[in-house]
A and B are shown apart, each in its own frame.
Chain A
Amino acid sequence: MKKSIKGIIALLILMSTFMIPGTSASAEDGSALQRVQDAGVLVVGTSADFPPFEFYAVVDGERQVVGMDMMIAQKIADDLGVELQIEDIGFDSLLPALEARNVDVIIAGMTPTAERRRSVDFSDIYFQTFQNVMVRAEDEEVYPTIESLSGLTVGVQTGSLQESLAEQIPDAEVMSLTDLNDLLLALKTNRIEAIVMQGPNAEAHAGNDPDLHTFVGDFELDGDDEGSAIAFRQGEDSLVEAVNESLAEIAEQNLTDDYLATAGEYMAQEAGDDGFVASYWEYFWDGTLITLLISALGVIFGLIIGSLLALMRLSKQVLVRFPATAYVEFVRGTPLLIQVMFIYFASGMFFNLPALIAGIIAVSLNSGAYIAEIIRGGINSVNKGQDEAARSLGMSKKQTMRHIVFPQALKNIWPALGNEFITIIKESSIVSVIGVGELIFQTRVVRSISFQGILPLFVTMLIYFVLTYTLTKLLNFYEGRMNHD
């Protein structure tokens, strides 16, 4: 799964590179620093499910990504004299986003492994870390060392350093998931016996959850592997040098200790004991609004695109019909996940399209193909006599379609359109992979800051159900009003 997605992203990036060779991503420009300073903003990619390094907290009444890495990012931006802009993207998608120029740098507790060094450059190491093993509290005695885990199932985060460290456990079966919270849930529900996790992160979780226990694993580490560094596109040495200066200053003044302390305060604040709903309702609320926004716009634009495609497909001209047919077949024959990633990453090569806009475009283009087929079926279902009657009265083809055939088609396809809307509400969750803060994304955030695995999932499930059920009722109401039989 992981390999295939990465492969496809790489392929897409390669394809986009060929499309406009002049704007190739890995340009050897010595003026990367100049470019950032000209833009006046440093775009930092991160994956905010990793306390105490990066996670969400309410600061001055506003939710934002905080943590040690973000404070380092702020310091770097200040030193460069530019604004800081943080893009929260899934850990898996960070490197593609960097290469596709969606972000300038990655600060996400990322370890500069030899494998990663092949595709990106790294700053000096800014934080020396250690690697832990997380087990259930009740197993504290059973699994005291990494050797005791031999032959068992061990979880790691996809694409992480820990994924390769886990191979040092003899005969262990490695299960890799994108989301740390899912790993913790898998651990608690006995699906896996242990998780290999970054040290401070593991301690943050164990400290907040009495069901978990963690210990430092004695893994063999490469010199390179011990610590976190900032990732850059290859060849942007001027930017790397400038950032290294800031990092040197941070090391000199031992600022990371202060940063970690501040992060700890945020964590304590977010894990407040106001009750789950009271503490986190805003995350769900925001997520619900974004989900509704994406779905509603997806349906509206989808209807426009779909109507157009349907009319094209009904044309007698092959040259008009063919592109529409090809589009519909292609879009229906490829996963929405890839379409979302393609539009986001490929567009990053040419201009900075915000993830939300990219998500809405992808969902609209996708639903357009499905709606086109629904509308085409609807138009075909209208009795031919209706068209003949209107044409015999002297109405033009266009008037006939608009006033006679289309309204009746709409009535016939109303239930199918409703289903499509409901499908979009659920499917739009896929845009969370590019960091759009819709419901699934916010659920991930809540899970990481609340140290709760299941409850946020349950709340989200309820919200989705309320949304789709209300919509069904609403559609039924309007269907009834259209019915003159």
Chain B
Amino acid sequence: MIKVNHLKKSFGKNEVLKDINEEFNQGEVVVVIGPSGSGKSTFLRCLNLLEEPTEGEIVFEGTTLTGLKEKDLNQLRQKMGMVFQQFNLFPHKTAKENLTIAPIKSKGTSQNEADQKAVQLLRQVGLGDKEDAYPASLSGGQQQRVAIARALAMDPDVMLFDEPTSALDPEMVGEVLKVMKDLAQSGMTMVVVTHEMGFAREVADRVLFMDDGLIVEQGTPDAIFSAPKHARTQDFLSKVL
């Protein structure tokens, strides 16, 4: 579904991603782990071109995204939902409006249809009673669940999660992971950058370990967590587990 060929990304002289080749398949849940600064967030943000790759190409559903015209890129981004560490809800819009603005403006969905879908999605993430609430009146966990619902409102083929629980108070992490777990079970293709090793072990089909701009090791959760081959993986896991 997503194919990454020779992806490189530098910020100035700082080379953050060094030649990454990877493929994500339909229905697969892939969790990306690794120490801070290893380039995993940048990698994720390159997938929908929020970061412009310095070199290499991203192919999504058969179309090469890199070098694509603005308008076509917008079309394809509709199919790639993204959830951010800082939620990034639109503070001047209610929960429901956060879900309806993009379908109405960029897909031309009718208000009525968008509203119905929004209500249903908010219910799905357990926030059926919050449709008229503004983000500022919601807790972090609730905001992140609205953000997930917002991405789902575009009917994406894949969901990208950029450390979705890192900014949350510990007691709120569970409710967000639960929503993500349900989503995984429904068959959604997911790429998740996270520090939640429990989630990785339980939900992931495949775990990628990144360090220093490279995918150092990958495999099933069992393989990675129980029998890491690479010294850097072992070192990292010994610190976080």
Contact = CB atoms under 8 A, between A and B. Distances in A.
Interface of A: 383, 385-386, 388-397, 399, 403-404, 407-408, 411, 482, 484-485
A385 B84 contact: yes
B90 interface: yes
Nearest to B153: A393
Given A395-B102, A484-B136, A404 B77 contact: no
B105 A403 contact: yes
A480 B145 CA distance: 28
B88 A383 contact: yes
Contact of A403 (B74, B101, B147): B101
B48 interface: yes
A385 B151 contact: no
Contacts of A408: 90-92
Interface in B174-198: none
A393 B50 contact: no
Interface centre among B78, B88, B136 (most CB of A within 10 A): B88
A315 to B, nearest CB: 14
A35 to B, nearest CB: 56
Interface string B99-134: 001100111000000000000000000000000001
Contact of A393 (B76, B92, B102, B134): B102
Contacts of B86: 383, 385
A391 B50 contact: yes
Contact of A395 (B82, B105, B134, B136): B105
Given A388-B50, A484-B134, A393 B154 contact: yes
A407 B101 CA distance: 13
Interface string B57-83: 000000000000011001111111110
Contacts of A391: 50, 74, 77
A197 to B, nearest CB: 62
A408 B135 CA distance: 14
B155 to A, nearest CB: 11
A400 to B, nearest CB: 9
A394 B101 contact: no
Nearest to B134: A484
Contact of B91 (A390, A394, A396, A484): A484
Give the bracket for the number of chain B residues in contact with chain A: 20 to 34
Closest 7 CB pairs of A and B: A394-B78, A389-B88, A393-B102, A385-B88, A392-B82, A484-B134, A394-B77
DSSP majority for the A interface? helix
Contacts of B76: 394
Contacts of B154: 393-394
A262 B80 CA distance: 84
Contacts of B81: 392-393
A297 to B, nearest CB: 28
Given A385-B86, A484-B91, A399 B106 contact: yes
B150 interface: yes
B78 A393 contact: yes
A484 B101 CA distance: 17
Contacts of A386: 88, 90
A178 to B, nearest CB: 49
A388 B102 CA distance: 13
23 contacts: A385-B84, A385-B88, A386-B90, A389-B82, A389-B88, A389-B90, A389-B150, A392-B48, A392-B82, A392-B151, A393-B81, A393-B102, A393-B150, A393-B154, A394-B75, A394-B78, A394-B107, A394-B154, A395-B106, A404-B90, A408-B92, A484-B134, A484-B135
B92 A396 contact: no
A484 B92 contact: yes
Contacts of B90: 386, 389-390, 404, 408
A403 B76 CA distance: 20
Contacts of A399: 105-106
A395 B88 contact: no
Interface in B147-185: 147, 150-151, 154
Contacts of B48: 392
A393 B84 contact: no
A397 B70 contact: yes
Contacts of B88: 383, 385-386, 388-389
A395 B92 contact: no
Contacts of B74: 391, 394-396
Contacts of A385: 84, 86, 88
Interface centre among A386, A388, A390, A394 (most CB of B within 10 A): A394
Given A386-B88, A399-B106, A484-B91, A392 B101 contact: no
A394 B106 contact: yes
A390 B103 CA distance: 11
B157 to A, nearest CB: 12
Contacts of B105: 395, 399, 403
A394 B71 CA distance: 9
A53 B77 CA distance: 75
B50 A407 contact: no
A392 B106 contact: no
Nearest to A392: B82
B135 to A, nearest CB: 8
A484 to B, nearest CB: 4
B134 A396 contact: no
B78 A388 contact: no
Contacts of A393: 77-78, 81, 102, 106, 150-151, 154
Contacts of A395: 74, 101-102, 105-106
